[in-house]
Chain A
Amino acid sequence: MIGVRSLEKEYHVGDHVVRALRGVTLDIAGGEFVTVVGPSGSGKSTFMHILGCLDRPTRGQYLLGGRDVSTLPHDELARVRNETIGFVFQGFNLLSRTSALENVELPLLYTRKGAVKAAERRDRARRALAAVGLTDREEHHPNQLSGGQQQRVAIARALVNEPSLLLADEPTGNLDTATSHEVMEVFAKLRAERGITIVVITHERDIAAWGTRTIDFKDGVVVSDEQHAPTMGSHRPVSA
């Protein structure tokens, strides 16, 4: 599914060069539930932006589904994001003054064939909301939803165009522990039911335990990468 080779990313701040990623090489197979951990500033978000085609590496190769996407032009990257990748952010990033349903419809406005027809958009958004358990909140606006519900709307939005890769940068960062685990449970369920590849960045060890593999970043390189048994639904890890 994903293969990165000697991935490097540099930022130029004045005449200073920040090396955010310093040669990352790894593969992620389809259906894996990867959690990315590491100290602040270690390059986790930078890595995920490149995986999500929001950014391009300074050096190195990125193969997505066998296709080298590291040098694609902007519009092509936008297409890849639309068709194969779903994003979930720490701050939810829902459009205010817009209903849950309309928020979920958003990616369907930018498909390869232009905007999907209104009726079909509505239909698919409803199904995505149902998949995250929010059937009864379609017309609610973000300010009428709890944090956990907002994040589930965001997940529905990430799902609506049926991507094969779901990327989440600290999706539980703004949520309390109980709600955090509810959100992680949604991810686990999606992976189990649809075989979606999921990459979640987190600071919390117990959230990382939901994955099947944990990658540890430090100063722009991977310091540990281990597979482990996931902690599913009924069998929750004890919080720290």
Chain B
Amino acid sequence: MKRLRALHPSIDIGFKALTRNRLQTGLTMLGITVGVATVLAMMAVGAGAQRSIEQQVRAAGLNQLTIKAGNWKPKTEDSGGAVAHQGDAEDTMRLPVDELMPALPDAGDPFAGAADVLPIDFHPEDDPMEKHDHPLAWQRLGDLEAGLGASTTLSFADAEAIRQLPGVQYVAGGVHGNARVHYRPEGGAEKRWFTRMHGTDLHLLDIKRTWTLRSGRFFTEEEQDDKAMVLVLGSVVAEKVFGEQVDPVGKDLMLWNQTFRIVGVVTSASWVVRPAAGDDEFDAVYMPYTTTHQLLNLTKLNDITVTAASTGDVSALSKRITELLRQRHNITNEKPDDFTISTQATRAITTGGLPPNVAAAIAGNVKELERVTLEQLAGTLERASGTMRWLLAAVAAVSLLVGGIGIMNITLLSVTERTKEIGLRMAVGARGKDVTRQFLTEAVAISLAGGAVGVLLGLVASYLISSTLRWATVVSPASVFIAFGVSAAVGVLFGWYPARRAAELDPIDALRHE
């Protein structure tokens, strides 16, 4: 302490100023403290809003687009039937599921295995002639996912070419189908589950920002290269087959009469999306697309999922991909695309619970839909946090003004109290600017001390805002620095007038002052 004070006369002056009239100084600091705390909280709310906009945009997958083989479009006028265009009907990929599992023991009896066995053993929708009073799988999941109208126009080479485009973050090609999985515990009854099968790329986990690994891991590059017999289960499959308590990682599961090793379980990280039986993401199993290709003797992809490095770039990227694929597929000018690019936003609408015809109408009419949603989302958040920021700015301005006036007051008081001292300092050689500096130092010392407490208070306030009001807040080192800067600025601004007054004193008058 003594060392520090000896370092520079100004430091000494500052310390003395803080300890001179403790109560008054403390009260004066209070205004600055509240002001600085509010400034910090204000910036934290602003930065928090900014970040949560970005996060939500990312999480919502607004930077994501999907390229599907074929140019199937929903028919707008009828009950949800699909119309096939050139390119998809000729070479439809059908998963040869039945050939691969010719001798399933339960094939004939839907309820074999009785009580222990999960009820959905055979899928009632498997009968194409049946009339149903509920939406069928292909209606719920979309025709392409249900295996209707898939085409063979997308190749792995296409995916690699897209990967090279500027603005691309991740690329994952996929092959999709339905599958039955079997698990036979030692000495126990066999369990089966009818679910979705996705042959995909290891980058899928990077793309799916709302996913998290409940246990284990996603498959590795090595496993993908080696066409390894590994599976990642959606959490619904894991629960239905193994029960909620059991961690299936490391266990074996049968699919297409082949044995797969389970390496991980994925589930939703977002409370908005609850995994449920029948959904496409978590009532599903994932394997490297190379493994699917190998087992089913395939070379094509059903779809390619791409994320744009920047959200605003989605439309432009979509155009670049269109050009690239048309060129690669040798499509001449007047012919339509043999693929379909959809963004997350259009997908959200077409698969988001709206009746298919309504969804199709919206998707067809709203151009650059993803941008609309992005701006709307950002706009709503911006407006809400803007109100909060204005409120805080007003509080900050008022308290900084009050604090500043307090500092001016206490500095004027100090000047008056110590007029004689000023005279003496002048007599021994202090110039006007030395005196100015002394009182400015005092004012800034008080405001900085108030600012330091204010920064602490601001950190607490930001924490409280995020924990009680559920507002995202981000306190960056820069904002702490700025808050300190604001308090110093207030000290200089409001200390200036008293300091100048002190400097302009006549030394003789000051010396005579009682």
**Residues on A facing B (Cβ under 8 Å):** 49, 52, 54-55, 74-75, 78-79, 81-83, 87, 89, 93, 95, 106-107, 109-111, 115, 118, 157, 161
At the interface, is chain B mostly helix, strand, loop or mixed?
helix
CB-CB < 8 A to A54: which residues of B?
A: 426-427, 507-508, 511
CB-CB < 8 A to A161: which residues of B?
A: 428-429
- Assess A74 versus B431: contact at CB under 8 Å? Given A54-B507, A93-B511: yes
Q: At the interface, yes or no: B424 with Cβ under 8 Å from chain A?
A: yes
Partner of A110, one of B8, B420, B423, B425: B425
A-B contact pairs, 7 of them (CB 8 A): A78-B431, A78-B432, A81-B427, A109-B9, A109-B434, A110-B430, A115-B8
Partner of B431, one of A55, A75, A87, A93: A75
Q: At the interface, yes or no: B421 with Cβ under 8 Å from chain A?
A: yes
Contacts A49-B508, A54-B507 known; 6 new A-B pairs at CB < 8 A: A75-B431, A78-B430, A78-B431, A82-B428, A82-B429, A93-B420
Shortest Cβ distance from residue B421 to the other chain A in the assembled complex, whole angstroms: 6
Contact B508 A93 (CB under 8 A): no
- Assess A81 versus B511: contact at CB under 8 Å? Given A93-B420, A110-B434: no
Give the 9 A-B CB pairs with smallest separation, nearest first.
A82-B429, A110-B429, A107-B428, A118-B6, A78-B431, A75-B431, A93-B424, A110-B430, A54-B507
Shortest Cβ distance from residue A135 to the other chain B in the assembled complex, whole angstroms: 21
- Distance in angstroms between the alpha carbons of A79 and B428 in the assembled complex: 9
CB-CB < 8 A to A107: which residues of B?
A: 428-429
CB-CB < 8 A to B508: which residues of A?
A: 49, 54-55
Contact B429 A87 (CB under 8 A): no
CB-CB < 8 A to B424: which residues of A?
A: 93, 95, 106
- Distance in angstroms between the alpha carbons of A109 and B6 in the assembled complex: 12
Contact B428 A106 (CB under 8 A): yes
Of the candidates A74, A87, A115, A157, the one having the most CB atoms from chain B within 10 angstroms of its own CB is A74
Which size class do B's interface residues fall under?
20 to 34
**Residues on B facing A (Cβ under 8 Å):** 6-9, 420-421, 423-434, 507-508, 511
| Shortest Cβ distance from A167 into B: residue | B427
- Assess A115 versus B9: contact at CB under 8 Å? Given A95-B421, A110-B434: yes
| Shortest Cβ distance from A112 into B: residue | B429
Contact A87 B9 (CB under 8 A): no
Shortest Cβ distance from residue B18 to the other chain A in the assembled complex, whole angstroms: 13
| Shortest Cβ distance from A96 into B: residue | B421
CB-CB < 8 A to B430: which residues of A?
A: 78, 109-110
CB-CB < 8 A to A110: which residues of B?
A: 425, 428-431, 434
- Assess A157 versus B427: contact at CB under 8 Å? Given A93-B420, A109-B9: no
Contact A79 B421 (CB under 8 A): no
Partner of B429, one of A78, A95, A118: A78
CB-CB < 8 A to B511: which residues of A?
A: 54, 89, 93
CB-CB < 8 A to B6: which residues of A?
A: 118
Shortest Cβ distance from residue A138 to the other chain B in the assembled complex, whole angstroms: 14
- Distance in angstroms between the alpha carbons of A74 and B432 in the assembled complex: 8
- Distance in angstroms between the alpha carbons of A107 and B9 in the assembled complex: 12
- Distance in angstroms between the alpha carbons of A118 and B511 in the assembled complex: 27
Shortest Cβ distance from residue A122 to the other chain B in the assembled complex, whole angstroms: 8
Shortest Cβ distance from residue B9 to the other chain A in the assembled complex, whole angstroms: 5
Partner of A157, one of B8, B423, B428, B507: B428
Contact B425 A87 (CB under 8 A): no
Shortest Cβ distance from residue B214 to the other chain A in the assembled complex, whole angstroms: 64
Contact B432 A83 (CB under 8 A): no
| Shortest Cβ distance from A86 into B: residue | B428
Contact A78 B426 (CB under 8 A): yes
Contact B429 A111 (CB under 8 A): yes
Partner of B432, one of A75, A79, A89, A118: A75
| Shortest Cβ distance from A94 into B: residue | B424
